Structure formats: structure tokens, C-alpha cells
Amino acid sequence: MARKKSNVKVLNNEYYRQQTSASDFQKKEQALQKRHRHKMQFLIAFALIVTLFCSVRIVKNYTQASQIGTQTETAKKELTEQKSKNSELNLQVDQLKDPEYLQKYIRERYYYSKKNETIYNLPENQSKSVTNDN
């Protein structure tokens, strides 16, 4: 389609210049506001992303700290158990150095006897009940 030739002629007078400068100013102002709005949206999005990233890191650190705390507690419990076991074993080593205790232990554990000695093996349940009655 061919464009129609306009019969309207623009007069270049003071009123026309004021109107066009006002509309140009308004267009520039709107463009500036639009640019400002885009910058603000970008900054808000950036701040949200940074906040989200920091929040994720904080949660990860908190869970790691709680896991380390539980591991520490279990390690402390295991350490106390091992120390008590070690002290019991040290006591047993000291007792085994005593010849009388060693003889008694061997006789009880492995049923060794002295000369002319008879060993009677009683069931453990009956021997406990006999000792509890006395």
C-alpha cells in the first residue's frame, strides 16, 4: 500500500516547540524511570540470590556442626569405655603378677588341681543359689 501524502503542515512556532519539548522531556523521564525500575529489580533479585546462597551455607554449617557434636559425644563415650576397660586390664595384669592369684585363677579357669585334690564341678545356677542362701 502506498502511503497517503499528508496535507498537514507543521508550523515551527513557540507553542509547537514547547509541546514537543514537554513530550520529549516526558518520554525521557519515563525512560529514566523504566531504567531505574529495571536496576531496582536487578538489585532485588541479586540480593535475594545472595540471601538464599548465604542461608543455604548457614544451614549446611549448622547440620555439619550438629553432626560433629554427635560424633564428639560418641567418641567421648567410647573413650571412657576404653579407659575403664584399660584400667580393668591393667588391674588384671597386676593381679596375674601375683603367684597366689595366678594359681587360683588357673585352678578355677582350667580345672587344675593340686596333688591329692578332688575337683567337683557344680552347675553355676545351683552354686549361686547355695551362696545366696547362706
pLDDT at 1: 57
- Identify the band that residue 118 occupies on the pLDDT scale cut at 50, 70 and 90: confident
Contact 96, 90 (CB under 8 A): no
What does R_g of the chain's alpha carbons equal in angstroms? 48
Query: What digits encode the pLDDT tens for the residues 59-108?
Result: 999 999 999 999 999 999 999 999 999 999 999 999 889 988 888 888 88
Query: Per-residue pLDDT for 117 more than 70?
Result: yes
User: pTM value?
Assistant: 0.48
User: Which grid coordinates belong to 117?
Assistant: 585334690
Task: Give CA separation, 101 vs 31, 51, 111, 117, in Å.
Answer: 100, 71, 15, 18
Query: Which 8-state DSSP code applies to residue 120?
Result: -
Angle between helices 14-97 and 99-110 (to 10 degrees): 100
